[in-house]
Amino acid sequence: MLLREVEYAKPASVAEALGLLAENDGARALAGGQTLINVMKARAASPDALVDLNGLDELKGIELAADGTLTIGAMTTYSELMASAEAKARPILGEVCATIADVQVRNRGTLGGNVCSNDPTNHLPPLMCAIGARMTIVGQAGEREVPAEEFFLGVYMTAVGPGELLTRIAIPAGKHDGFAAVTLGADGTCICNAAASVNGSVRVAIGCVDAVPVVITAGSPDEVAAAVRAADLDPPSDVHASAEYRRHLAEVLATRAAKEAAAR
């Protein structure tokens, strides 16, 4: 497919990238391109200019601090995360990334792009909400940190405003995590998914049932199903699942993820 005409720049620093984005309202950041290029083919969006983040070492790398906090650069690919010794500090991250699409997509797609695109069927938005991730956003005005729960604002919308970039994701230490999904074929698009983390109480984030992940807390895994029911979800109906079936899946998958989390 021939894309609409577009300008292209590959900045060498985050400061330069922010300058390019500020200069042009129609400019858009290009990360792994595994969503954006398709969106451009479909003309669902036709940016005037692409600011390619692939040359920015500042957005790469995974660091593990003494207190167990992982700091992951936005431009880290799924494959890089899966291969990282540091990232094993929170094993669920690599486990979930390994189930996203296929090798080729994992080699290009980035953690930053996954959360910034905030497709309601994506794997990482619910996971980030469940494990208490914090996103660092930078713009001309400076830097701020936003908890995952406040980061996802709507379908394809996040706290990253025009002219801003997500630079890194900080994830606290922990290992009592779980993830469950019903997908279209092995490692396919999620029909419904749920991520859970147990730290005293259970925290579950359910994907595919609303514009943003729905976060639910419960005292124990056995109480999760009732909590999901009480949340009165109003999921969409589509060719893959009716709203009613998705509501059922939400309950089952949230419970499954919570039990997996508690058992580790």
Partner 1 sequence: MDVTVTVNGHTYERDVEPRKLLIHFLRDDLDLTGSHVGCDTGNCGACSVIVNGTLLKSCMMLAVQANGATIETVEGLSADGQLTALQQAFHEHHALQCGYCTPGMLMSATALLRENPRPSEDEIKKALQGNICRCTGYWNIVEAVKAVAE
Ligand X SMILES: Cc1cc2nc3c(=O)[nH]c(=O)nc-3n(C[C@H](O)[C@H](O)[C@H](O)COP(=O)(O)OP(=O)(O)OC[C@H]3O[C@@H](n4cnc5c(N)ncnc54)[C@H](O)[C@@H]3O)c2cc1C
The Cβ of residue 225 has, within 10 Å, a number of other Cβ atoms equal to: 16
Q: Which of residues 84-103 bind partner 1 (CB under 8 A)?
A: 101-103
166 is in the binding site of which of partner 1, ligand X, none (Cβ under 5 to 8 A by kind)?
A: ligand X
Site string for ligand X, 188-207 (x = CB under 6 A): -x------------------
Under rule CB under 8 A, residue 48 binds partner 1? no
Q: Distance (Å, rounded) from C-alpha 164 to C-alpha 139?
A: 4
Residue found under tokens 């029909």? 191
Of 83 and 141, the one with the shorter C-beta distance to partner 1 is: 83
Please select the residue that binds ligand X; options are 101, 211, 243, 252, rule is CB under 6 A. 101
Under rule CB under 6 A, residue 73 binds ligand X? no
Of 7 and 150, the one with the shorter C-beta distance to partner 1 is: 7
Under rule CB under 8 A, residue 52 binds partner 1? yes
Please select the residue that binds partner 1; options are 60, 90, 108, 134, rule is CB under 8 A. 108
Long-range pairs, 211-216, Cβ under 8 A, ≥24: 211/120, 211/154, 211/155, 211/157, 212/118, 212/120, 212/125, 212/152, 212/153, 212/154, 213/125, 213/126, 213/129, 213/152, 214/250, 215/129, 215/130, 215/149, 216/254
Under rule CB under 6 A, residue 18 binds ligand X? no
Under rule CB under 8 A, residue 119 binds partner 1? no
Q: Distance (Å, rounded) from C-alpha 132 to C-alpha 195?
A: 11
Q: Give the binding range for partner 1 (CB under 8 A) out of 32-40, 138-146, 169-177, 250-258.
A: 32-40
From start to end of 17-110, where are the E strands? 27-30, 49-52, 62-64, 70-73
> Nearest approach, Cβ of 92 to ligand X (angstroms)?
14
Residues that bind ligand X (CB under 6 A): 28-36, 53, 74, 100-101, 105, 109-110, 112-114, 116-117, 119, 122-124, 160, 165-166, 189
